[in-house]
């Protein structure tokens, strides 16, 4: 299937470029004086967070359109985006505490940004469990769409939680209305990393979408073989 | 007085390794799930 091959190529290129971002971050990007090398976790943590949140927005948007149009491609895309989003959320929830330990002195604190990000991850897990628990495709897509829309509503709260609540989590230094407060070389590394994570999101979602499509085709062939297909 | 830059490179390496392992593992899982069909 062409889509699967394209997805694999994009993913492979993304992983290769990720190695390039690592080299640039480690060798060609200055060390922040107060935080030391731990600050460089930012180049992985924040792009992963951007795509963990964006993936849920795409799940929600696809779900809204699915409920109106009943197009199975939208449901397939939402399913793919949710699985990929959960992978990025897992990276956020592991790299964040690894940064927090040397900088805050603790792995975890129940502050608004961290807790809401954990909710996002749990929503991703719940979304996938829900899909796995419902056999009938129409009901599965409908129920999952409702949960996907709830997940989308959560995302702005995560992003603005640092403004709405007193929180330990740093304020945005790039994604904010004023100009980014990062030196040029750090900003370039960060932007490259965002680009690579974007590529990985596209590659993963393309593959996952193709996987869902192929599974559906295998089920249809199986049903026809058993004589239980629609006549 | 200037504050010394902390020695915490181990945390950075751990984060980078974990992120790479998660991404590569997911890429491999997609490959295997498709092959199993």
A88 token code pair: 């990025």
Phi then psi for residue A103, to 5 deg, are -90, -45
A31 in a structural domain: no
Give B3's DSSP letter.
P
Average pLDDT of chain A to the nearest whole number: 93
CA distances from A30 to A44, A96, A187, A212 (A): 16, 20, 11, 43
- Is A17 part of a structural domain of the chain? yes
Q: Is residue A33 part of a domain?
A: no
Q: Do A91 and B18 touch (CB under 8 A)?
A: yes
Contact B37 A91 (CB under 8 A): no
Q: Domain ranges for chain B, please list them.
A: 10-37
Tally of domains within chain A: 1
- pLDDT tens-digit profile of A172-219? 777 777 777 788 899 999 999 999 999 999 999 999 999 999 999 998
Percent of chain A with pLDDT over 70: 98
What CA–CA distance (Å, rounded) separates A53 from A47?
A: 10
Assigned domain for A191 exists: yes
Residues in B touching A15 (Cβ below 8 Å): 23-24, 27
| Domain of residue A91, residue span | 2-26+40-170+182-222
Residues of chain B contacting A34 with CB distance shorter than 8 Å: 3, 5-6
Q: Which residues contact A57 (CB under 8 A, 6 or more apart)?
A: A152, A155
Residue A48 contacts B where some CB pair is shorter than 8 Å: yes
Q: Which chain B residues contact residue A98 at CB under 8 A? A: 11, 14-15, 18
Residue A176 in any domain: the answer is no
Cβ-based contacts of B33 with chain A (< 8 Å): 211
Q: Quick one: tokens of B31?
A: 């490959």
| Per-residue confidence (pLDDT) for residue A229, from 0 to 100 | 54
pTM for this model (two decimals): 0.93
Give the per-residue pLDDT at A166.
Answer: 81
Q: What is the ipTM of this complex?
A: 0.94
Q: What is the pLDDT of residues B1-37, one digit of tens each?
A: 677 888 899 999 999 999 999 999 999 999 999 998 8
Partner B contacted by A95 (CB < 8 A)? yes
Verify whether the Cβ–Cβ distance A38 to B31 is below 8 Å. Answer: no
3-state secondary structure labels for all residues of A158-200 = HHHHHHHCCCCCCCCCCCCCCCCCCCHHHHHHHHHHHHHHHHH
Inter-helix orientation angle B9-35/A2-27, to 10°: 170
DSSP secondary structure, A58-95, as one string: HHHHHHHHHHHH--HHHHHHHHHHHHHHHHHHHHHHHH
């Amino acid at each position: 299937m062409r889509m699967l091959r394209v997805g694999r190529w994009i993913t492979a290129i993304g992983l290769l470029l990720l190695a390039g971002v690592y080299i640039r971050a480690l060798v060609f990007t200055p060390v922040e004086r107060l935080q030391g090398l731990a600050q460089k976790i930012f180049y992985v943590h924040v792009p992963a967070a951007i795509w963990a949140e964006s993936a849920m927005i795409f799940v929600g948007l696809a779900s809204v359109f699915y409920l109106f149009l009943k197009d199975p491609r939208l449901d397939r895309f939402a399913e793919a985006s949710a699985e990929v989003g959960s992978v990025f959320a897992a990276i956020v929830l592991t790299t964040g505490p690894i940064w927090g330990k040397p900088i805050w002195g603790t792995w975890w604190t129940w502050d608004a940004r961290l807790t809401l990000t954990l909710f996002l991850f749990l929503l991703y897990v719940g979304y996938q469990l829900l899909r796995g628990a419902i056999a009938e495709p129409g009901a599965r897509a409908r129920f999952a769409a409702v949960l996907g829309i709830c997940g989308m509503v959560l995302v702005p709260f995560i992003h603005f939680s640092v403004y709405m609540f007193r929180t330990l989590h740093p304020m945005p230094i790039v994604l904010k209305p004023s100009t980014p407060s990062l030196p040029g070389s750090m900003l370039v590394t960060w932007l490259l990393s965002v680009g690579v994570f974007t590529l990985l999101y596209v590659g993963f979602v393309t593959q996952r979408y193709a996987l869902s499509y192929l599974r559906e085709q295998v089920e249809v062939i199986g049903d026809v073989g058993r004589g239980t297909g629609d006549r | 007085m200037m504050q010394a830059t902390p020695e915490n490179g181990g945390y950075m390496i751990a984060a980078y390794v974990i992120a790479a392992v998660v991404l590569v593992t997911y890429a491999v899982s997609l490959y295997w799930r498709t092959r199993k069909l």
